[in-house]
Amino acid sequence: MTRVLVIDDEPPILRALRINLAARQYEVSVAADGASGLAAVASERPDVVILDLGLPDMDGTEVIRGVRGWSATPIIVLSAAGQESQKVAALDAGADDYVTKPFGMDELLARLRAAVRRASPAPDEPVVVTPAFTVDLAAKRVTAAGRDVRLTPTEWQLLEILVRHSGRLVSQRQLLAEVWGPQYETEANYLRVYMAHLRRKLEPDPARPRYLLTEPGMGYRFTPAGPAAGAGASARRESSPALGAQSLPGEDCSS
């Protein structure tokens, strides 16, 4: 079920959108100001955001910039007629589309469906194969030696980001912001714990990882073919944390 977050300070609009979207099998949550909207994006991870530009505590473009600092979630802007400059500013800030008030529900739903389609993985690139395991991004499934590998939701999020940036360095701050939210950007120990979990489940030799590599002080890199000769030493030097002693948000790390 597609998750939609509506950020608007007008109760009639919130009520109308909640009823109409829920009737069409969308999972709907609402926020009445920018601060609570930003918090909801981080905690609820919606598939798409519908955002009013005129909020009581901040301009809608500030919300867009706050989301775009760590997330690519599609954003559809609601704007009043005659606010051409605001619409341009919102699109420049990172909004994906806009609807002018008063709007028809059919138009909004069409733009919502289009935003979700654009954000979906392309059908011709969902499967990444390594010599040790296979990642199916569309099915959200990992297999090794012909068997499913059970990952927790947080482990999957972390792996998915690395796989989608295959071969490229992904910074610690980016991973922390996208998986746990921007308020956790300095909690590098969370990454060490979960990377240790992923390596135990996916690497042939977790102490000498070939596919999930550490760049000390910078971030992590997924290499589907394994590292080149001489590479991977930095990954081997990262010590595994005491997994049972961590208290991390979101789920039990012992799974």
> Distance (Å, rounded) from C-alpha 15 to C-alpha 11?
6
pLDDT tens for the 255 residues of the chain, in order:
899 999 999 999 999 999 999 999 999 999 999 999 999 998 888 999 999 998 999 999 999 999 987 888 899 998 875 667 888 888 888 898 988 888 889 999 999 998 888 776 555 557 899 999 999 987 889 999 999 999 998 999 999 999 988 888 888 888 998 888 878 888 889 899 999 999 999 999 999 999 999 988 888 999 998 655 444 444 444 544 544 434 455 554 444
Which CA distances in Å does 65 have to 4, 60, 89, 179?
19, 9, 11, 18
Residue 77's Cα: distance from chain center in Å?
A: 20
Q: Among residues 99, 105, 120, 109, which one has the least CA distance to residue 4?
A: 109
> Distance (Å, rounded) from C-alpha 170 to C-alpha 157?
13
Query: The pTM is what?
Result: 0.55
Q: What are phi and psi of 77, to 5 degrees?
A: -95, 140
